[in-house]
Amino acid sequence: MRHLTKAILLVAVVLALQGCSTTVEPGQRGLRWYPLTEGLAPETLKSGSYWRAPWNQINLYNVRWRRYIETVDVLSSDNLPITLKTVVLMRPIPEELYFLVKEIGPDFYPRVAKRELLTAIRSVVSHYPMATILEHSSEIAGEVEAVVVEKLKDRHVQVGSVTMGDIELAKVVLDSVPRKQGKEQEREQ
């Protein structure tokens, strides 16, 4: 009977201690949460296993590069509609994770970065005529990236790249371009 009690107690202790460990995987960072005392601790935990009291937590955050795709309707400098598919690569800065979580929250993209990206795209594209958007797409992407990096520099987020994917010009415009080019060629002759 005594051995059975010890065995049950040992199993209970092992199970309780097993719940007091958290593993931070590669590509993640952890922040300790002490609900009874200081709250969120500023120390960023790297990959590894960490012990904690049963009433405390270690919150895990993904710090890998993530790709966000946005389809944006914009107007060119000649007020013609264009639909752009833009891909931005970004991630939280691992060393600044505590400040990101405290100031913005872990869902930084929909709360802050998306708005800045869409505004930058609309602002930059509005300086180009519709006919030059396709040939200047890499230049436009570079300008958008520079604007987004500048806007997010104090937001604890790192921007890897911005690229323009699909570019859809309005059908009415596409039909009129060959006619316009034909008329210009006739005038030159």
> Contact at 8 Å (CB) between 51 and 19?
no
Please tell me the distance from the alpha carbon of residue 42 to that of residue 25, in angstroms, as a whole number: 19
pLDDT tens for 115-143 read 999 999 999 999 999 888 889 999 999 99
pLDDT-derived band at 173 (thresholds 50, 70, 90) equals low
Scanning the structure block, which residue is given the tokens 């009874």?
36
Tokens at 176, concatenated:
């009129």
Compute, in degrees rounded to 10, the torsion defined by CA atoms 148, 154, 155, 158.
60
Where is pLDDT greater, at 185 or 88? 88
Q: Which tokens in the block code for residue 106?
A: 């872990």
C-alpha separations of 106 from 44, 94, 101 in Å = 14, 12, 5
179 touches 146 (CB < 8 A): no
Judged by average pLDDT, the poorest of 21-25, 42-46, 171-175 is: 171-175
Q: Which residue has the higher pLDDT, 28 or 106?
A: 28
pLDDT at 174: 61
Please say if the pLDDT value at position 88 is more than 90.
Answer: yes
Which domains can be identified in the chain, with CATH numbers?
Answer: 2-62 (no CATH), 66-175 (3.30.479.30)
